[in-house]
Amino acid sequence: MTVQPTLVTRDELYTLVWQSPGTHLAKRFGVSDVALAKICRRLEVPRPPPGWWARMAVGRKAKIVPLPAARPGIPGRIEIRPTSKMTNGLRERIRGTADRFGPISVPDRLTRPHAVIAGWIRDRRERQERAKDEREPGRRSLYSVPDWTGTERRRHRVLHAIFRALERSGAEIRQDDRGRLTAILDGEPIAFELREKLRQVTRPLTADEKRWETWNRSGVRRELEPTGLLQFTISAWTDESVRKIWLESHSRPIGGMLPEIVATFVVLAPVLAERTRQREEAARRWEEERRRADEERQLQREDDNRWRRFLEIAGDWKQSALAREFIATLQTASASMNDQIEGRSIAEWLEWAESRAAAMDATQQGLEQLFSNVGAVRAWTYRGLD
């Protein structure tokens, strides 16, 4: 059965997390318990502490933490979307895929290493040759490049086996400028690394170190030293409870973990690709909504500006009518006046005023011209006045 997205309020989620254990409630929503915990933290919904359900099971009283008032910015509701229709039984699918792969052998010697590894070997060799050509002993010592350690050579052989197995499953192996490795499956890049596990050790300071490190009153120094053991890590983020770190031990070498490692890539890739598709679809919808909102604001601003222009025309018409009424009064009073004022007669001044009043009256141009004037206004016409 496919779990549908669920819209819950903050109060409803608070009630649910105190009514049912998180793992059960997460399955109901179609997400992992880790994802549900993140949602609760986002909404600031308190959850039962560890051991709370065990105390309830034996009839002991357990304190229920009250729901605090929502702070500004905390959403009042949230839509919980199932992680993916492919996440049900993800671990079982990984185990089944690993069984179908069978053992993945690690070569005892790299005669034809993968192109990425061959590039590492070639680069190390070229750097060693450049260091040998350095004539000055001090610089030669500074630029000297050591040979690969036994663990580094074994790392190459293990990576070679992983690369080949992933490529047989349709993956493409890439390395960026910083040396980070990525497997691309179903169009989804999944970053990973294989490195030697280090451990912290404590040793007493030497006599020279005590003399120079007067600030170090502990008398010891903590350092990291190699263990000779390899750790494989998938760096791609996912809230699924899927194993993403494999650390070998002396009793269990990493070679036996390779089928599960490769199977995790194969099973996880379509889940991540679906999540990417959903994220891109959500971004597309958001962009479409933003564009539509911008268009609506543009149209509204344009309509407001046209109305503003219409009112300006109405104001000019009103002033034109007032001016004509005033001109008519002046014409009655000036019937017997023939004086020249600033080089014009009274009649010429009244004729000038009449022409200016007529120019302000948009109705003289006809309604078609009037509304063409209004319709030509755009959203940015009065933007500086908003």
Q: pLDDT digits over 138-176, tens only?
A: 666 767 788 999 999 999 999 999 999 999 999 999 998
What residue spans define the domains of the chain?
Answer: 6-80, 90-284, 298-385
Give the residue among 21, 88, 22 at the shortest CA–CA distance from 240. Answer: 88
Q: pLDDT digits over 350-360, tens only?
A: 899 999 999 89
Please identify which residue in the block is written with the tokens 């018409």: 317
SS3 of the chain: CCCCCEEEEHHHHHHHHCCCCHHHHHHHHCCCHHHHHHHHHHHCCCCCCCCHHHHHHCCCCCCCCCCCCCCCCCCCEEEECCCCCCCCCHHHHHHHHHHHHCCCCCCCCCCCCCHHHHHHHHHHHHHHHHHHHCCCHHHHHHHCCCCCCHHHHHHHHHHHHHHHHHHHCCCEEEECCCCCEEEEECCEEEEEEEEEEEEEEEEECCHHHHHHCCCCCCCEEEEEEEEEEEEEEECCCCCCCCCCEEECCCCCCHHHHHHHHHHHHHHHHHHHHHHHHHHHHHHHHHHHHHHHHHHHHHHHHHHHHHHHHHHHHHHHHHHHHHHHHHHHHHHHHCCCCCCEECCEEHHHHHHHHHHHHHHHCHHHHCHHHHHHHHHCCCCCCCHHHC
What percentage of the chain reaches a pLDDT higher than 90? Answer: 45
Average pLDDT, the chain: 87
Cα separation, 267 vs 274, whole angstroms: 12
What pLDDT does residue 219 have? 86
pTM attached to this predicted model: 0.60
What mean pLDDT comes out for the span 224-245? 84
Residues 6+ apart with CB under 8 A from 56: 62
Please identify which residue in the block is written with the tokens 């040979």: 147
Q: pLDDT digits over 259-318, tens only?
A: 999 999 999 898 888 888 888 898 899 899 999 999 999 999 999 999 999 999 999 999
Q: pLDDT digits over 70-111, tens only?
A: 888 888 888 888 765 444 578 888 889 999 989 999 999 999
CA 58 remoteness from chain centre: 45
What pLDDT does residue 337 have? 64
What mean pLDDT comes out for the span 335-343? 72
Cα separation, 334 vs 357, whole angstroms: 19
Confidence band for 236, pLDDT divided at 50, 70 and 90: confident
